[in-house]
Amino acid sequence: MITYDDLAAALEDAWLVAGLHDHNVVESVNPEALERTYRAELFPEHPEPMPEHATPPWVEVALTWTAAHQLRSEGQSIAPGVLELQWTYSVDVRSEIERTDFELLRAFQGAVRVALRRVAPETVPPAEYVAIEVRRGYRHSGERMVPAYVQLIGANRTDLSDLWDVRSNDAVRDALREELLVVAALVHTLGEAFAPASLGNYRSVDTA
């Protein structure tokens, strides 16, 4: 039966295999809700130090482990509810501040299609694999408001419900490695589209 520790260890193994590395990993406990939360900020290989104003696209992965999940992992016959990984992609596009929201969204969607073709060239990609929004911030300059930053935020989820009845830790690792290869490919294609100077060496999914 899958456990929280199994998932956390398999995630860390999977992102390393995919060529990503963490900048921050936070595990927290909410005693009132009886929940554990796992979050990691994952980056592709990039020059050190990172060039100023050239932060590569990165992704945060989050997992919430509930009391029902814990009881199920201990073998109790209980409906565990949703078990999923939440992915949030962040792209700094301040250098493209003059582009319209429509143009930025299309460029992000194009990067998603390229990534999915690289990982699974025989598979038709879903129409909306990632939900995307444009965030614009402004600051005062004298009496005017001027653009301060532009970010693209993409979000999707990975349903892990099928792993509840998996008996092998190897099967859990394999499933997460497959998912992280897609994630790493997308982070890289976003870098190619918006911040090529921020990327270091990248191992393709064929050789990772």
Whole-angstrom distance, CA of residue 158 vs CA of residue 151: 23
CA-CA-CA-CA dihedral for 102, 105, 106, 109, to nearest 10: -160
* Owning domain of residue 68: 4-198
| 111 assigned to some structural domain | yes
Burial class (CB in 10 A: 0-12, 13-18, 19+), 132: buried
Whole-angstrom distance, CA of residue 125 vs CA of residue 203: 22
Contact (CB, 8 A) for 141 and 155: no
| 149 assigned to some structural domain | yes
| 93 assigned to some structural domain | yes
Contact (CB, 8 A) for 177 and 14: yes
What pTM was computed for the model? 0.88
- Model pLDDT for residues 174-194, shown as the tens digit of each residue: 999 999 999 999 999 999 999
pLDDT at 208 over 80: no
| 205 assigned to some structural domain | no
pLDDT at 206 over 80: no
Mean pLDDT, rounded, for 139-150: 83
pLDDT at position 28 is 95
- Cis bond upstream, residue 31 (ω within 30): no
Q: How crowded is residue 2: how many other Cβ atoms within 10 Å of its Cβ?
A: 21
| 36 assigned to some structural domain | yes
Closest residue by Cα to residue 190 from 125, 117, 126, 108: 108
| 204 assigned to some structural domain | no
Of 173 and 204, the structure prediction assigns the larger pLDDT to: 173
Number of domains in the chain: 1
Element (H, E) at 39: strand 35-43
Element (H, E) at 206: none
What 8-state DSSP symbol labels residue 93? Answer: -
Of 94 and 133, the structure prediction assigns the larger pLDDT to: 133
Mean pLDDT, rounded, for 84-98: 92
pLDDT at 34 over 60: yes
| 102 assigned to some structural domain | yes
Distance, C-alpha 141 to centroid of its chain: 35
**CA distances (Å), 23 to each of 41, 86, 169, in order?**
6, 17, 26
Task: Count the alpha carbons within 13 Å of 173 in the hemisphere toward its beta carbon.
Answer: 10
